[in-house]
């Protein structure tokens, strides 16, 4: 009889618990069908998918939960400033560690609706935090609404969060979504050190620059090695290989003809290239010189071509026709020591028509500020960079062929078996020898991004 009563009590308790669980599940599912609730979320689709895969159960305030993950998650949000992010983005006006403990530890004092709302908002806060770490807050390519409904390069924030909850190291799974590029990890390591040393306070200007440049690095898709990174404000190119970084000076676009920020891959490079002069340069800069001095063409040397690709003989009457209809003609500079592209050009697909190349004006690399081009990037020691690319590609035996072709101005194409990612970015701050180094904001890009962060502090 006693055993029967014990069994009955256990069964009743199980039925009550089951009924409570079912009530909680129904409340989550019901809340996620409410437009008012969804309107409060930054990533409603991602949150909904999270709970679908979690069987519409509470993720953070279930009274039977023994894990310390909810506390870790809350502390991660509370210390978001250590990642260059802002607590105000993560519903901190309505969620907190204290409220989490109260809702979980004193279940009779709150309604299921209040619990469900808290759990959903906490999930949205974590999904927002993960997306901010991975994509940035103000990504120019992907808005939050686009990220919410699309799989971008295999990344879904709700999948990261679900996987992290199943993993022994919850914290590591979350922070691992950050960029792996060295410039970014240098920033993160600096902030970790800075905030670990309570007596070490960096100037606010430095912190602000670090925050906006960490944001820019989160916009970069490529995370693989090797890669080439060109930073516009520091006039520098870095070729990153395993354990090795090779540095090169570069010349970049003038403020009136800016070098674009982009990502692509170097597929091949060509020695002794000829230069097809962009039409804008021909019309605005070159044509007035040609009209003033006909020998300008032969002095450099340039050739003029018509729409059919036929070379045009320059006479007084032809010059008059070119002046009246310049867009019917194009100009090309043949290879040689005076060629604007120098002895080698590195090609990569992009919509801006820019490329990376050698130059005949090597004296310009002696200047500290090197914004002289029409948008393309000129690199110092181009032969060394080409040799490193061949060696990295397992084609070191072709280096002597490259050197001879460059010396003799012989046209040859060197196609890479494994194209190398190239990143052109705009970083006005970097960590050098453990300290922040600030660079001149030559294109005045910082103000608008700083304003966005300041408005959302």
Enumerate the active-site residues: 357, 376
Rg (CA), the chain: 30
* Nearby residues of 136 by Cβ (< 8 Å), 6 or more positions away: 215, 216, 218, 219
11/323 Cα distance (integer angstroms) = 96
What secondary structure does DSSP assign to 371-414, as a single string?
EEESS-EEETTHHHHHHHHHHHTT-GGGHHHHHHHHHHT--EEE
By CB atoms closer than 10 A (0-12, 13-18, 19+), residue 38 is middle
3-class secondary-structure state, position 280: helix
CA dihedral 400, 415, 425, 260 (to 10 degrees): 110
Q: How many CB atoms lie within 10 A of CB 68?
A: 10
- Let me know: does 405 contact 271? Beta carbons within 8 Å: yes
* Nearby residues of 183 by Cβ (< 8 Å), 6 or more positions away: 213, 217, 229, 231, 427, 430, 431
176/155 Cα distance (integer angstroms) = 12
Which residues are 422's β-sheet partners? 228, 264
Q: How far does Cα 435 stand from its chain's mean position?
A: 22
* Nearby residues of 376 by Cβ (< 8 Å), 6 or more positions away: 253, 259, 354, 355, 356, 357
3-class secondary-structure state, position 340: coil
* Nearby residues of 112 by Cβ (< 8 Å), 6 or more positions away: 23, 24, 27
In degrees and rounded to multiples of 5, residue 13 shows phi and psi of -60, -40
Could you report how far apart the first and last alpha carbons of the chain are, in Å? 66
In degrees and rounded to multiples of 5, residue 232 shows phi and psi of -65, -55
Which residues are 72's β-sheet partners? none
12/35 Cα distance (integer angstroms) = 37
289/401 Cα distance (integer angstroms) = 38
């Amino acid at each position: 009889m006693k055993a029967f009563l014990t069994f009955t009590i256990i069964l009743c308790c199980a039925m009550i618990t089951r009924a409570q669980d079912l009530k909680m599940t129904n409340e989550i599912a019901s809340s996620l069908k409410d437009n008012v609730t969804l309107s409060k979320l930054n990533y409603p689709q991602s949150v909904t998918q999270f709970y679908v895969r979690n069987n519409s159960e509470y993720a953070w305030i279930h009274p039977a939960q023994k894990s310390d993950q909810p506390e870790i998650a809350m502390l991660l949000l509370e210390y978001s400033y250590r990642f260059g992010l802002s607590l105000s983005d993560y519903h901190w006006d309505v969620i907190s560690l204290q409220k989490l403990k109260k809702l979980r530890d004193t279940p009779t004092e709150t309604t299921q609706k209040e619990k469900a709302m808290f759990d959903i908002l906490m999930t949205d806060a974590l999904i927002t935090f993960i997306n901010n770490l991975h994509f940035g807050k103000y990504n120019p390519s992907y808005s939050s609404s686009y990220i919410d409904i699309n799989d971008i390069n295999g990344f879904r924030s709700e999948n990261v969060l679900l996987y992290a909850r199943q993993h022994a190291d919850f914290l590591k799974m979350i922070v691992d979504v950050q960029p792996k590029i060295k410039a970014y990890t240098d920033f993160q390591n600096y902030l970790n050190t800075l905030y670990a040393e309570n007596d070490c306070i960096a100037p606010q200007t430095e912190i602000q620059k670090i925050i906006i440049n960490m944001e820019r690095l989160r916009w970069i898709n490529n995370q693989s090695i090797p890669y080439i990174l060109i930073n516009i404000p520091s006039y520098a190119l870095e070729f990153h290989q395993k354990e090795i970084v090779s540095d090169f000076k570069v010349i970049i676009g003038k403020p009136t003809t800016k070098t674009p920020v982009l990502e692509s891959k170097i597929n091949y490079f060509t020695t002794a290239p000829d230069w097809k002069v962009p039409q804008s340069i021909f019309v605005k800069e070159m044509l007035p010189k040609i009209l003033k001095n006909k020998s300008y063409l032969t002095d450099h040397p340039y050739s003029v071509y018509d729409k059919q690709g036929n070379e045009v003989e320059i006479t007084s009457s032809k010059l008059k026709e070119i002046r009246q209809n310049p867009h019917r003609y194009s100009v090309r500079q043949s290879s040689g020591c005076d060629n604007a592209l120098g002895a080698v050009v590195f090609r990569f697909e992009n919509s801006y028509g820019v490329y990376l190349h050698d130059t005949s004006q090597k004296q310009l690399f002696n200047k500290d500020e090197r914004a002289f081009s029409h948008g393309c990037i000129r690199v110092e020691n181009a032969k060394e960079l080409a040799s490193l690319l061949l060696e990295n590609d397992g084609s070191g035996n072709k280096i002597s062929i490259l050197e001879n072709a460059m010396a003799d101005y012989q046209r040859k194409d060197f196609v890479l078996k494994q194209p190398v990612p190239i990143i052109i970015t705009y970083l006005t701050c970097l960590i050098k020898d453990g300290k922040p180094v600030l660079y001149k904001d030559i294109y005045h890009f910082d103000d608008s991004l700083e304003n966005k962060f300041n408005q959302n502090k």
